[in-house]
Amino acid sequence: MTTIKGGNYFMQNAVKQKLKNGEYATGAFIGFHSPSLAEMLGHSGFDFVVIDNEHGPLSWGEVEEMIRAVELTGAVPIVRVAYDQSDIQKALDRGAMGLHVPMVNTKEDAEAVVQKAKFPPVGKRGTAYSVRSSKYGKGGGNAYLQQSNDAILIAVHIETPEAVDNIDEIMSVAGIDICYIGPTDLSVTMGYSVEGPDHPEVQAAMNRVMAAGQKHGVAVGIQVGGASAIPQKQQWGAPYIGVAVTPVLYAALDEVVKAGKQLNQVK
């Protein structure tokens, strides 16, 4: 959440603080336009909500509406962008407090993300005080620049064998807060689209990322399909857990439909 007080700009990120404190953070991904559902996800108690604009068919106006909805709940609004400088700029200018950036495969890729997300002198993000993230000019100035650089969370996605091979170099980049494993993408790019993330070689690759996170002191995040998978991922050492909202909704709905259909079987 962000607040204005005494003419200065105050920006905080509760998820970054949790990770610094050694706590876990759990959030949901939503890839379609529904401010109401985004707000519900925040009210449900998730620490963060990721608005997926890599795969989702969202306009930037719709992304902004969903950021507002998440902010109302106290959860941290994060946007998954395409690997594109203008997308990073637009997400942050609209008030996103974090980024998920897909297909980061090298140290140079990671450095480029930081450059796009951070204001000078740390990076090269374009400066505008008239945008929503600085309260349309009410909260601009040096405090805004410094606090934005400190508060914005950057998660880069580890989704290819190349990224796994370069994981130590990627984690060495200052400004990267999370290396986020995409199990489905990783299994597909490794050639195991049929076997999926449970294939032993995919599991070994994910373990390499986990071990590198412990070595470098960088948080590792991972996508899960539902609640049953969370304890295992925490045991692995992943403090940042994301779940796609659609399989969770389907699982709950399937149970209701199944119970309803069983009524006809007991007649």
Residues 6+ apart with CB under 8 A from 221: 155, 178, 179, 180, 181, 238, 239, 240, 241, 242
The DSSP bridge partners found for residue 224 are 243
Residue 153's DSSP bridge partners are 98
45 burial type by CB count under 10 A (0-12 exposed, 13-18 middle, 19+ buried)? exposed
55 is annotated as an active-site residue: yes
Strand 2-5 to 153-158 pairing:
unpaired
Could you tell me if 98 and 78 are in contact, meaning their C-beta atoms sit under 8 angstroms apart? yes
Omega before 121 cis (within 30°)? yes
**Distance from first CA to last CA of the chain, Å, rounded?**
54
Residue of 33, 43, 55, 100 with catalytic role? 55
Q: Which residues are catalytic?
A: 55
